[in-house]
Chain A
Amino acid sequence: MASKRANEELPVIARFEVRRRNYLAPDGSIERPLPAFATDAKLLVELYRSMVLLRLFDRKAVALQRTGRLGTYAISLGQEAVSVGIASAMREDDVLLPSYRDNGALLWRGVALEEILLFWGGDERGNQFSGPVHDFPFCVPVGSQAPHAAGVAYALKLRKEPRVAVCMFGDGATSKGDVYEAMNVAGVHKLPLVFVATNNQWAISVPLRLQTGSETLAQKAIGAGFSGEQVDGSDVVAMRAAAEEAIAAARDGKGPHFIEAVTYRLGDHTTSDDALRYRSAEEVQAHWKEEPIARLRSYLVGQKMWTKADEERLVAECHERIEAAVERYLKTPPRRAETMFDNLYADLPAAYAAQRRELAGEDDA
């Protein structure tokens, strides 16, 4: 590259760096001094419990789908630390804009298990959830919630409210203009907005190397004028720490931040997918060594914060909660057909009233 050599005489006008954050090694040992919150055993146990609940819930949801009692479902297997870690650092009045694989964040924020089942079971009432009323529902079209997050953050800033928007999406979404347009405007206005890209290496069948030529996703933030970092997304301590710092800074008026959570999707994309069509069992097996739940458990057990009896009690509790939620879900009758017109507009225009009456089986003479 002759031209590159010649250019070395030109002055450097900008330099950038991207750092990687991790605390717990895959075996649960400590890589570097833990953040302050890690002395709070109760919090670590709560993070652990939430990840276990999510994993067991996912397993049940897949069973329901396989037996025809739930629609297509996206499991979080292997990446539970991302959504749980991020949500754990948010305040209730912060605004979550999740993608469809962020169940862990919704559950942490108070959405009920049966509400998530209702959504994936094909009932809009699942989005009328008992989590924070201002939170967004799952975004299904990839990355298209990112501009909403910028709009939310702009509104928060305009009203001088000390609140933060948190927008979650996957590695595939970083290829979309939506995400870049949102990052760009967030940089312009220093919006209180944290972007979280769950880089689980696969966008259905397309690996990261076909998604981007960039060494990291985090560095995309630099082009938008703010900082980005890579985080070990299978280390819930790292996820929580990164989220805590980024959210506090955003709340403090310091602008947006981008977190690239590097993890691995151990399961299929959804229940409609067969990942063995595009990646080997050996590859998946290798990544099982990094998964977040065993990692945190090793640490907790090593620190005497968790015992075998605790584990047994937790699993039993989770099963009980899940079974009760499944029962409530299965017992929820479908809405009456004509209600598909309710909440279409604030008041249904007269022009559509006849169609509603037709669905209701009312005489339209």
Chain B
Amino acid sequence: MPEVTLVEAINRALGRAMVDDPDVVVLGEDVGVNGGVFRATVGLQERFGPERVLDTPLAELLISGLCVGMAAQGLKPVGEIQFMGFIYPCLDQLVNHASRMRNRTQGRLTCPMVLRTPHGAGIRAPEHHSESTEAMLAHIPGLRVVIPSSPERAYGLLLAAIRDPDPVVFLEPTRLYRAVKGEVEDNGEALPMDRAFVEREGRDVTLISWGAMLKETMAAADALADESIAAEVIDLATLKPYDENTVLRSVAKTGRCVIVHEAAHTGGFGAEIAAMIAERGLSSLLAPVTRVTGYDTIIPMARLEQRYMPSVERIVTAARKAHQYN
């Protein structure tokens, strides 16, 4: 089976969804003729026509609002926001409309839309192109927030997101778009959106991460293995609603947990997981839950971005400390 990059896997999932369901439409800035700034939608307009693959005016609020209107009318829109730094005009639509349409009409109208956006830093992009503000989105009731870490997961989770009857924000790890390859069979099979994936089993310490940070987290697990520390790595994959049980099962086994995310420390999604473990898994803990995260500062531009993001070394150090704690 040929290997594809993560962005190619997304392209395949979009194509598959559009073949399977004539209600699926793709819209966003430059998604048509240009195939998207990251080429995630390349070839779709040629295959499905400009009505179903729509180059919108340059207006992010509009893209999200169009999705709400289309979805309430029975289409399954997949909107693209070019970078996460430009998603904020969509927040009003996500909070006030997309996430609550079903609830405020008691099921009369629904909002089966997907809003895709690249997530995170690490590609030496200009200012505002490196955001990882997933915790803001995961705080919104009624929404689902998904973030794949590999081509296989990107394909299966995007199909699940598009088929889901409720709104999903689909975050795509920018720096993995072309950095990872994997075998992806275009078989139309979706992955579950309510389950975390145990990426690697281990008995000594649990490492939890999502999106692009899985790469450093897995590298840290390799390094820890050299020190005879067996790390269990969990790809959370879906942040809302997230799979508490897989986390708790792992922590029950290891007693030690390090959460890794690129987003800033305070109020990051790691805080939610740590609090949940404290509430539901305290008795299994042998060490404090710790977090390796981006710093509580503005994500710096290209020259310093690598210093901002959690490194393999920082993760290894935190895991070692958790392992040694008694």
Q: A: which residues have CB within 8 A of B? A: 95, 97, 124-125, 127-129, 133-134, 136-137, 140-141, 144-156, 158, 165, 177-178, 181-182, 184-185, 188, 342-346, 349-352
Task: Determine if A136 and B109 form an interchain contact, defined as CB atoms under 8 angstroms apart.
Answer: yes
Task: Determine if B104 and A147 form an interchain contact, defined as CB atoms under 8 angstroms apart.
Answer: no
Asked if B229 is an interface residue, CB under 8 A from chain A, the answer is no
Task: Determine if A346 and B65 form an interchain contact, defined as CB atoms under 8 angstroms apart.
Answer: no
Instruction: Find the residue from A129, A136, A145, A352 having the highest chain B CB count within 10 A.
Output: A136
Interface pick from B36-44, B89-97, B316-324:
B89-97
- Alpha-carbon distance between A135 and B98 when the two chains are bound, in angstroms: 16
- Alpha-carbon distance between A344 and B54 when the two chains are bound, in angstroms: 29
Task: Determine if A344 and B142 form an interchain contact, defined as CB atoms under 8 angstroms apart.
Answer: yes
Task: Determine if B102 and A141 form an interchain contact, defined as CB atoms under 8 angstroms apart.
Answer: no
CB contact under 8 A between A184 and B57, given known A124-B103, A158-B75, A343-B106: yes
Asked if B135 is an interface residue, CB under 8 A from chain A, the answer is no
Count of chain B residues with Cβ under 8 Å from any Cβ of A? 47
Closest Cβ–Cβ distance, residue A277 to chain B (whole Å) = 28
Closest Cβ–Cβ distance, residue A364 to chain B (whole Å) = 12
Chain B residues positioned under 8 Å from A342 (CB to CB): 106-107
Chain A residues positioned under 8 Å from B278 (CB to CB): none
Task: Determine if A148 and B57 form an interchain contact, defined as CB atoms under 8 angstroms apart.
Answer: no
Q: Which of B52, B64, B97, B194 contacts A350 (CB 8 A)?
A: B194
Task: Determine if A147 and B102 form an interchain contact, defined as CB atoms under 8 angstroms apart.
Answer: no
Task: Determine if A344 and B70 form an interchain contact, defined as CB atoms under 8 angstroms apart.
Answer: no
Task: Determine if B106 and A128 form an interchain contact, defined as CB atoms under 8 angstroms apart.
Answer: yes
Q: Which of A133, A140, A151 contacts B65 (CB 8 A)?
A: A151
Q: Which of B65, B68, B106, B165 contacts A127 (CB 8 A)?
A: B106
Closest Cβ–Cβ distance, residue B211 to chain A (whole Å) = 20
Q: Which of B74, B93, B109 contacts A147 (CB 8 A)?
A: B93
Asked if B241 is an interface residue, CB under 8 A from chain A, the answer is yes
CB contact under 8 A between A144 and B93, given known A127-B108, A150-B62, A344-B102: yes
Q: Would you list the 7 A-B pairs with minimal beta carbon distance, nearest first?
A: A147-B65, A151-B69, A148-B69, A351-B241, A349-B241, A128-B106, A155-B73
- Alpha-carbon distance between A181 and B66 when the two chains are bound, in angstroms: 10
Chain B residues positioned under 8 Å from A182 (CB to CB): 62, 65
Task: Determine if A155 and B75 form an interchain contact, defined as CB atoms under 8 angstroms apart.
Answer: yes
Task: Determine if B68 and A148 form an interchain contact, defined as CB atoms under 8 angstroms apart.
Answer: yes
Closest Cβ–Cβ distance, residue B190 to chain A (whole Å) = 15
Task: Determine if A151 and B70 form an interchain contact, defined as CB atoms under 8 angstroms apart.
Answer: yes
Q: Which of A128, A133, A141, A155 contacts B70 (CB 8 A)?
A: A155
Task: Determine if B104 and A124 form an interchain contact, defined as CB atoms under 8 angstroms apart.
Answer: yes
Chain B residues positioned under 8 Å from A352 (CB to CB): 241
- Alpha-carbon distance between A342 and B59 when the two chains are bound, in angstroms: 33
Chain B positions 56 through 85: 1 when the CB is less than 8 Å from some CB of chain A, otherwise 0 = 110101101111111111110100000000
